[in-house]
Structures are given as structure tokens and as C-alpha cells.
Structure 1
Amino acid sequence: MFAHMQGRGGRGCGPRGGSGGGEWSRGPFAVRWEFGGGDGRDHYRGGGGGGGGRRRMFDGSELRLVLLRMIADEPRHGYELIKAVEELTGGAYAPSPGMVYPALTMLAEMELIAEQPSDTTRKRFGVTEAGRAHLAENADIVTAMMARLAAAGEHRARSDRAPIRRSMRNLRDVVMHRLESGELSDDAVHEVSAMIDEVVQKIERLK
């Protein structure tokens, strides 16, 4: 089944260098992880002493295994998966929707996950028995990739000022929650925007 997963556009889940993100078991990690451009790929800036360029965190087959592992932990929808990965890395990396949702579609087609009832319009998926078996077959690879995420988070925690990042995440989360809920009036939206602009101006004046 893993060979089938590779054949659908992935390049395998083993460690390697080059565009796949380098060896994740050792060595310095990127200072800055970032989304790719409009091509739907996710990149990070290579760390180390060689002035590394932009590289991908995961290829398609690797990301599918990471998502499958997280869905096996508990049923989730796409946005929850993106947030879960971001939390594991301390905000250093989050897969783009352009990577996550096609990966979920493929996992479902392979019958490794199945849609479950949800109270929202978002599709929530749970792992199937075939999915658990697939994770067991690739346990070493999955463990290595989860370690890669954890290491990125550890590096981010060392290099960033955690209180500021926590506050930024809290601000983003509360604003997005209120916007998505549709509870804010047009006047309230403008008020929130003005509040954020005021904070930005105060920060710019700090010395």
C-alpha cells in the first residue's frame, strides 16, 4: 500500500537531503519556516553554515503519513490538522491548505481515513483499520517525521521570544474565531481593525 501511496505523486518517506528538507535526525533546523508561493508547496529556509535556500518541509507522501498519524490520535478536519502541526512546531511551520486538503482526499480514496459526522460544514475524518495498519507498517518513518516537527518547534522556542509569539497567536485566534462565527457587526469589524492599527503604531514607537 505504501508503494501505491508513492505512486500517486509522493517521493517516498525516507530521510534525504536536497529539496525534501535534509536529514531530520540531526543538524540545525531552519530559523524561519514559511509557506511556499501559489504552487501550493510548503518551504522553509535551510539552516546550518551553508546559507541554505528554500526547501520543502515534507513531500506529498510524507505529509500524508503525518496527517494520518494525527487523525489516528483523534478525528480532525483540515483546519484542525493545520493548527495541530503549527502547534507542534511552536508556530514555525504549518502546511498550506493547498497541501492538506488534496492529501486528505487521497487518504480517503485509499480508504485509510473515512469521513465522520460533524456539527459543522467542515469534513471531519477518522482513521480506518486499514489506516492503522498502514501506520504500523511505516512506524519508523512516522516517528522520524514527528521528531522532525518537534525539533523545529524546539529550535523556534530557542530562537524566538515566546511571550510575544504566544500573544500573537492568541490575537490571531480570537480575531479569526469572531470573524468565522459571523457574530461581529460591520461597526465591530472596523473597531477591531482600528484597535489593531493602534497597537501597531504603539509598537513602532517603542525603543
Structure 2
Amino acid sequence: MISMREAAYRFDDAVFERSVQVIRRCGAVELIEGFARDVRGPGGRPRSGRRFTVMAVLVVALSIVRVGRTPSIAEILRMIGTLTPAQLVEVGMDPDSALPQGGDEGVEPGEGDQALKASSSARHGGGGYAAFHGWLTRMLEPLDPGADLQAKRVTNGEHRRQLASRSEEAQQASETAERRLLDVVNALVAGSVDQQCPGQL
């Protein structure tokens, strides 16, 4: 039997609302979703199971940082599960399909991604860690300059050989992804500044 575990903390209203304000103002959600649409193209199979949003991910990640913790994928998923119905609506998620309080079953607060992934395999509708990780990876892949490289640790020399062996098409794709990433990062930084021209009235 899978037991429920509460998250170790909750976001207070001030932290959450401040994060919502910053993410809405910066426009990063629209950038990420737009890049994903451009890469994916028209059509495709509709998403099934729990529907997460980029807004939820960014707001929760920023809130985690603001309370002095580390926003891993596992922690973001866990903390989405602590949001109230009203907060879920604010980040574009359906409260009726949200995670139970605590973020996931059978995982102690502070446990890593592997434990959360293992416990999530028993979740209904494929809405646990594996589904969340897969969806988020697909959404952020257009921002990854190294998406064509092997996802494993290599020596510096091997890394240089991989870069040198890229085709012209792969190199252009990497440069495009890097520009997208910089656009998103710059938007997030700009959105976090309350008064961008303090010398002006």
C-alpha cells in the first residue's frame, strides 16, 4: 500500500503571489510555449492525464528559490501538489486533476528524483514523476543548446570532439537554442526588477 507523505513546507500567500507577479510580468511563459509550438509544429496527439503548465512550473520554481530551497524537478512536482485550488487556477491548472497534498505518494520530504520517480510508477493516469519529467523535457528542449549531445558525463576532450563533429545543421540548431535560452533568461531577470528606471518618475 502506498502511503501519503506531506511536503516539508508550504508557500505563504505573499511568496506565491510575488512569484505569480514576476512570472506574469516577464513573459517567459509565452516565450517557452511559443518556442515549443514552433519546434513541434501543427497537429500531434492531445496530451492525456494530468495537464501541467509552464506557468505552474516557473511560479513554483521561483517560490522554491524565494524560500531558500533547491528547485529540482522532483521538488517542483512535489510543491505543485501543495498548491490550493485557487492557486492552481492562478497558474492555469485544473484543481480537480491536481496532485494530492504533499506532491506524491510514498516519498519522504527531501528525497531525490529517483525515489520520487519510483513511487510515481503506481500513480493513476501516468501523472506522476515520469510523465511530468517527460513533458517538461519536451517543453524545454528548444532551449537546450546541447540537446544533440549524449546525456552523460564525458571528458573535456570528448566534449570538444562531439562539438567539432557536429553537422552544420546541428550547429545552427544549437545556436538557435542558445539564443532562445538567453531570451528566456533575460526575460526572467527583467521581470524580477520592480523599478527598471529608478531615476525616472
Q: Normalising by structure 2, what TM-score?
A: 0.32
Query: Whose RCO is larger (CA < 8 A, sep 6+)?
Result: 2
The structure with the largest strand share of the pair is: 1
Q: Normalising by structure 1, what TM-score?
A: 0.32
